[in-house]
Amino acid sequence: MLHLSCHTGGRPIWSDALCAFLADDFNKEMQCVGAANGQYALDKIIEESVIAGINAAKLSGNENHDFSSNVNKELDILKPKVETYLASKAQAIFHIPHAKATFMAPKQFVDFQLDVTAAGIELAVAEGFESIEHVKRYTALGFGTDQGKISNINGMAIVAKKLKQSIAETGTTIFRPNYTPVTFDAIAGRNVNSFFDVERYTPLHREHIKLGALFEDVGQWKRPWYYPDDNETMNEAVARECLAVRSGVGLLDASTLGKIDIQGKDAREFLNRVYTNAWSKLPVGRCRYGLMCGEDGMVFDDGVTACLAENHFIMTTTTGGAAHVYQWLEIWHQTEWPELDVYFTTVTDQWATMTISGPKARFLLAKMTDIDLNPESFKFMDWREADVVGVPSRIFRISFTGEQSYEINVPANYAVVVWEKLLEYGQEFELTPYGTGTMHVLRAEKGFIIVGQDTDGSVTPADLNMGWAVAKNKPFSFIGQRGMNREDCLREDRKQLVGLKTKHPNQVLPEGAQIILQPNQPIPMKMVGHVTSSYFSAALGHSIAMAVVKNGINKLGDSVYLPLDNGETVEANICSPIFYDPEGAKQNV
Amino acid sequence: MKQINRVRQNRSSKDFACSRIDFSQPIHFSFNGKEYTGVLGDTIASALLANGIDVVGRSFKYGRPRGIVTAGSDEPNAILQLGNCEATQVPNVRATQQLIFEGLECHSTSGWPSTRFHLMGIFGALFARFLPPGFYYKTFMAPAKWWKYYEKWIRKGAGLGRSPNRADEDIYEVINQHADVLIVGAGAAGLSAALGASRMGARVILADEQNEFGGSLLSSNIKINDRCTRDWIDAVVAELINYESQGQLLLLKHATVNGYHDHNFLTIHERCTDHLKDKAAQNEVRQRYHRVRAKQVILATGALERPLVFANNDLPGCMLASAISTYINRYQVIPGNTLVVMTANDSGYIAAIDWHNAGRRVAAVVDTRKSHASELSKQVKALGITIIYQSAVIEARRKRLNSRVCSAVIMSMDSTGDAVKGVKKLFCVTL
Amino acid sequence: MFLIHCPICNEPRSEDEFHCAGEGHIQRPLDPMATSDKEWGDYLFFRSNPRGTYRELWQHTIGCRKYFYIKRNTETYQIYKTYKLDDKSERVALDKEHSNKNKFGDLL
């Protein structure tokens, strides 16, 4: 029975003498013994099996043991006296002919489980199926849960006879795991229910539950989605949270963002090579937004990196891209630029990040720390070390909302203390916790992209109208530079990121909706792009959408149409994706 | 129902020296909603045969009645659905491998509406001529939009069991193992190899899918050191257990080595409580999945008997000769009254001898080979059994649509085995 | 599932500790901007995908996190050797393979 010997690629070899298949020598660390090796005499079976056992033991590193040290040689049970019969030779017969021709005779079954008959196999061969694998698939021979254990050889023999060739020439189909059916439970083992897929929680997870947050899955992370008041719908909650940030101050748990600590005297040069923009002149105490591209020139991650010291940076990545970026940095350092003196450590779990955002953010922060928050000295895109309610922290003045915004980073173990104090001091400013739902709307109002939502691996920085983030004069050819200069990446009619305003201000477009230029086209219509992000903006009082449209950057003001799946066609205007505060005045004050 | 095919003799009797069942412990179970009684050590298959059950399912395409053919994992017909409640439903269980336990409930998986009255059976009988291979590819493809109507009925009419629609509450485990030598199968070869490797100090895992070690020796009347095989098995296992107690060896019963993956990575599916109860107790593991990385692998998986293909060879009552020996010697079950054996080698003779010794009639041994005088054929002749050389059973016949085999049509063959002539008809109940 | 000897940890470990990073010994052009679109395309997109011996770059992700090479057979899945990125002896062997390939073209 050679089922197992086939699983990794071994092919059974037909033995005419034994009328059976034997294993080939594909598996070097495997031996067959006994009947599986074509040996049917019991005394011989025992003898050859003991030898095989001893050899296997030796080959696996037990060559120095004394086999018979504690065995009674006179009465060894492995040397028994066995009665034997001298057998006469077997006949290689498989299919017993009937007085009538096979197709007229009563059914002669080969595969019982799937009702494959000798006549069926002969018919398949007559219809031109000559490869045993094809006959198998056409007739379903050996397809059952028994995998044709008793039927395959008979089937092959009938095919061989019909094709007037030997069984060896006909060959055999392959057995695959599993030998007998296995329950899914056994394979899953204990990895069921909450162990099925690991969930990652931020250090503030319990605080979110206390506040009644609903959660969104982002990779393995559970992130607060929104914090509904009694009976509030998601739309209502998000609108309330959005307005609170725009008019007062909101609080977001941003701990899930990937954080990579980068050190070494060549850290700056390394950043120059992996980011599209320039890092040579970023002074200590400042932050910079960076775009990361693949060698093909397509955007695959973005984030803010801060210069902590001359040879020390901290990089933030997208929540979902953290592991990939970390691996990306390692592979380039290890394979292409091992001469660079640079070290990476992932510190995502070591730091908790709380973002306070809104016109009143500075007033709140002033209650928590003594450092100088004067916007003349602690400017937008600065970072400062600070003592926040007694906890050593790093405060980054960066903004994903377009408002005055401070990201307070504290060691994860102190997160709850700082969070509680923020809520306590925040009462006076009606501090409103907000989740990813609101974060998405706020950033879309500002035209900030989310990699993976507004990009799909086929979008260059130029397509995003973010040429400003690509350095032109870096000495080293950074990753992506050559790719984004391929002929195809320089086409004018590439899909480019734009904003969309619907004619009807309350209409929220479905994400993924296709865009056409002429409304009355026959199907298939000519599609020129699609909606990537779409929300209702409470702050602006109308819907907003981001989309990629062919040559869209040159089409500002044009009308486009979106045929929806309910049959309705919606008209919209192409506009800049920056809907709110296009001058960036608010984040700068 | 009475166990009409069971020979009620105890183990000390000479002819049933290697029986592995225990008459003192009757076990009640149900099959297709009907109560039956077996004994400790029975598989579902042996217990059903003991109770004279011929039909265990319906065939997939033609809906023909089908009976038990084998006594092991190669069984194509007796595929059952197990489980006393929704959460413990297990499809695809071979009756020949599942031991019975008190209160076991099982059902045929093919055979809707019932194994006795079967929609596909009628369909198959009426239209069989029009069901060539590739039938499903050819006929039901067009018009495509009808498929959604056909599909429901075809799936219901065919199918091999269903999945449970409640969550399984039992505990399952996955374990990583490392071994110097993994031995697959614990028959004479596997046991010998395990002892050989263990005596050399290797770390050994020995896995066998059956409930007892011994493999084909469990159903053989052959003598080792002039004693029955059980004594030899017991002696070897005793020495192996000694190695196990030293932590050098792992013995796994009810454990099928299911997959042989790259770089000697093998998976073993161990069923810890499936042979004892429907649902494992609290904190008890029902099944284990061993992921083994072995330095060396020994396949001692034995051989499967190959059936001969002849007309109506699927009628209930047509069985493999080795299975007949197993049911007689191991379970004391004789699945019928009169036997016709067709064989192309010597092993068929053993089944004839076992059947005869169990006290029922062997009508004939039909040997496809030319007349010869092997030791076994001499023994068979000495028992007064007719041997018909250079002949074959070309067709099995039945009386009614749903009855088991009742006669065999035998013709002599020319020397190439390609043509037949002359007709002889023999009555039999098991073939 | 492969059993992979990590040349840095110097231990055989199970495949699920590792991550395959595609074909090995792909050299990045020293001056990418000087390459033609074809040369750049060959470097970026085209891989040999042979039947037989293949050298791959792998990372011991749940381990030392170092990249290393595996020389293995894509047909039998046999692993001939694992070696560190800076293994000089393998560089020599590789150069020989390349020069033979150039000499005999498709014959090899």
Give the separation between CA B95 and CA B107, rounded to whole angstroms.
10
Determine the structural domain holding residue A68 and report its residue range.
Answer: 1-92
* Any domain includes A389: no
Radius of gyration, CA atoms only, chain A: 35
Q: Do C3 and B293 touch (CB under 8 A)?
A: yes
Phi, psi of B228 (to 5 degrees): -70, 160
Beta strand B204-207 pairing with A221-226: unpaired
Omega of the bond prior to B113 within 30 degrees of 0, cis? Answer: yes
Q: Do A482 and C21 touch (CB under 8 A)?
A: no
Burial (0-12, 13-18, 19+ Cβ within 10 Å), B166: exposed
CATH of the domain at A569: 2.40.30.110
Tokens describing residue A158: 């009938």
Q: Which residues of B touch C3 (CB under 8 A)?
A: 262-265, 293
pLDDT in tens, A496-523: 999 999 999 999 999 999 999 999 899 8
Phi, psi of A20 (to 5 degrees): -155, 165
State the average pLDDT for chain B. Answer: 83
Q: Which of C21, C44, C59 lies at the smallest CB-CB distance from A483?
A: C44
What integer pLDDT is reported at residue A73 of this predicted model?
A: 60
Vertex B133: Cα angle to B128 and B135 (nearest 5):
75
Beta-ladder partners of B120 = none
Q: Which of A8, A338, A481 lies at the smallest CB-CB distance from C33?
A: A481
Does the CB of A327 have a partner CB in chain C at under 8 Å? yes
The DSSP H or E segment spanning A584 is none
What integer pLDDT is reported at residue A8 of this predicted model?
A: 87
Substitution target in A167, A183, A187, A192 with the highest count of B β-carbons within 10 Å is A183
Does the CB of A498 have a partner CB in chain B at under 8 Å? no
How far from B65 is each of B58, B294, C103, CA to CA, in Å? 5, 44, 67
Give the separation between CA A307 and CA B430, rounded to whole angstroms.
87
pLDDT in tens, B233-285: 999 999 999 999 999 999 999 999 999 999 999 999 999 999 999 989 889 99
Using the Cα atoms of residue B364, residue B365, residue B370 and residue B371 in order, give the sign of their dihedral. negative
What is the CA B253 to chain-centroid distance, rounded?
17
B53: Cα within 13 Å, side-chain hemisphere: 27
B141/C7: higher pLDDT: C7
Does the CB of C100 have a partner CB in chain B at under 8 Å? no
What b-and-e string marks burial along A301-326, b requiring 16 or more CB atoms within 10 Å of the CB? bbbbbbbbeebebbbbbbbbbbeebb
Beta-ladder partners of A209 = none
**Domain C3-107 bears CATH identifier 3.30.2270.10:** yes
> Which residues does chain A have with pLDDT short of 50?
none
Q: Where are the beta strands (DSSP E) in A420-526?
A: 432-433, 495-502, 514-516
Give the separation between CA A543 and CA A534, rounded to whole angstroms.
7
Does the CB of C2 have a partner CB in chain A at under 8 Å? no
Assign A150 to helix, strand or coil.
coil
Nearest residue of B to residue A42 by CA position? B188
Q: In this structure, are A62 and A118 located in the same domain?
A: no
Mean pLDDT of all residues in C25-30: 91
What integer pLDDT is reported at residue A145 of this predicted model?
A: 78
What integer pLDDT is reported at residue B122 of this predicted model?
A: 46
Residue spans of the domains in chain C: they are 3-107
CB A83 within 8 Å of CB A63: no
Assign B37 to helix, strand or coil.
strand
Vertex A109: Cα angle to A107 and A114 (nearest 5):
115
Q: In this structure, are A53 and A117 located in the same domain?
A: no
DSSP per residue, A479-503: TTTTGGGSGGGG-TTSEEEEEEEES
What integer pLDDT is reported at residue B111 of this predicted model?
A: 53
What is the CA A479 to chain-centroid distance, rounded?
22
Q: Which residues of B touch A113 (CB under 8 A)?
A: 60, 76-77, 79, 160
Report how many helices (DSSP H) and strands (DSSP E) chain B contains, helices first.
9, 21
Does the CB of B381 have a partner CB in chain A at under 8 Å? no
Q: How confident is the model at residue B126 (pLDDT cuts 50, 70, 90)?
A: very low
Phi, psi of A193 (to 5 degrees): 50, -125
Q: Which residues of C touch B261 (CB under 8 A)?
A: 1
Q: How confident is the model at residue B360 (pLDDT cuts 50, 70, 90)?
A: confident
Of A137, A156, A181, the last residue of a domain is A181
Does the CB of C1 have a partner CB in chain B at under 8 Å? yes
What integer pLDDT is reported at residue B142 of this predicted model?
A: 44
Give the separation between CA B428 and CA C40, rounded to whole angstroms.
79
C50/B137: higher pLDDT: C50
Give the separation between CA B108 and CA B111, rounded to whole angstroms.
7
Give the separation between CA B205 and CA B179, rounded to whole angstroms.
6
Assign B394 to helix, strand or coil.
strand
Q: Do B346 and A108 touch (CB under 8 A)?
A: no
* Any domain includes A385: no
Q: Which of A46, A111, A145 lies at the smallest CB-CB distance from B192?
A: A46
Q: How confident is the model at residue B146 (pLDDT cuts 50, 70, 90)?
A: low
Count of domains observed in chain A: 3
Beta strand B285-299 pairing with A30-32: parallel
Give the separation between CA A141 and CA A276, rounded to whole angstroms.
58
Assign A391 to helix, strand or coil.
strand
DSSP per residue, B399-419: SSTT--EEEEEEEEE-TTSS-
* Any domain includes A535: yes
Tokens describing residue B415: 């020397």
The DSSP symbol for A246 reads H
Mean pLDDT of all residues in B52-72: 86
What is the CA B325 to chain-centroid distance, rounded?
12
The DSSP symbol for A311 reads T
Tokens describing residue B219: 């159903």
Where is average pLDDT lowest: A73-87, A513-527, B180-194, C84-98? Answer: A73-87
The DSSP symbol for A314 reads E
Q: How confident is the model at residue B405 (pLDDT cuts 50, 70, 90)?
A: confident
Beta-ladder partners of B36 = B29
Does the CB of A296 have a partner CB in chain C at under 8 Å? yes
Q: Do A331 and C40 touch (CB under 8 A)?
A: no
**Chain B nearest CA to C1, separation (Å):** 5
* Any domain includes A76: yes
Query: Maximum Cα–Cα distance for chain A, whole Å?
Result: 106
Q: In this structure, are A85 and A126 located in the same domain?
A: no
Structural class in CATH, domain B321-427:
alpha beta
- Nearest CA to B340 out of B420, B423, B409, B248 is that of B409
Q: Which of A8, A331, A336 lies at the smallest CB-CB distance from C21?
A: A331
pLDDT at residue C2 is higher than 80: yes
**Chain A nearest CA to C56, separation (Å):** 13
Does the CB of B128 have a partner CB in chain A at under 8 Å? yes
Q: Could you tell me which residues come within 8 angstroms of residue B139 by beta carbon, excluding any fewer than 6 positions away?
A: none
**Chain C nearest CA to B295, separation (Å):** 11
The CATH classification number of B14-157 equals 3.10.20.440
Q: Which residues of B touch A40 (CB under 8 A)?
A: 303
Q: Which chains have 3 or more CB–CB distances shorter than 8 Å to chain B?
A: A, C
Q: In this structure, are A31 and A80 located in the same domain?
A: yes
Q: Could you tell me which residues come within 8 angstroms of residue C45 by beta carbon, excluding any fewer than 6 positions away?
A: none
Q: Could you tell me which residues come within 8 angstroms of residue A572 by beta carbon, excluding any fewer than 6 positions away?
A: A500, A501, A502, A503, A509, A545, A559, A560, A561, A562
DSSP per residue, B277-332: -SSPPTT-EEEEEEEEEEEEEEE-----PPPPB-BTTTSTT---HHHHHHHHHHH-
Give start-end residues of each CATH 3.50.50.60 domain in chain B. Answer: 171-299, 321-427
Nearest residue of B to residue C75 by CA position? B262
DSSP per residue, B208-244: -SSSSTTGGGGG---EETTEEHHHHHHHHHHHHHHHH
CB A219 within 8 Å of CB A319: yes
Beta strand C79-84 pairing with C67-73: antiparallel
- Nearest CA to A19 out of A40, A46, A48, A42 is that of A40
Q: Which residues of B touch C2 (CB under 8 A)?
A: 262-263
pLDDT at residue B306 is higher than 90: no
ipTM of model: 0.91
- A91: number of Cβ within 10 Å: 16
Q: At what angle do helices B347-357 and B375-382 cross, to 10 degrees?
A: 30
pLDDT at residue B113 is higher than 50: no
Report how many helices (DSSP H) and strands (DSSP E) chain C contains, helices first.
2, 6
Q: Do A481 and C19 touch (CB under 8 A)?
A: no
The CATH classification number of B171-299 equals 3.50.50.60
Q: Given the structure tokens 């007719």, which residue do they identify?
A: B386
Of A41, A71, A92, the last residue of a domain is A92
* Chains A–C, number of C-beta pairs less than 8 Å apart: 42
Give the separation between CA B328 and CA B218, rounded to whole angstroms.
11
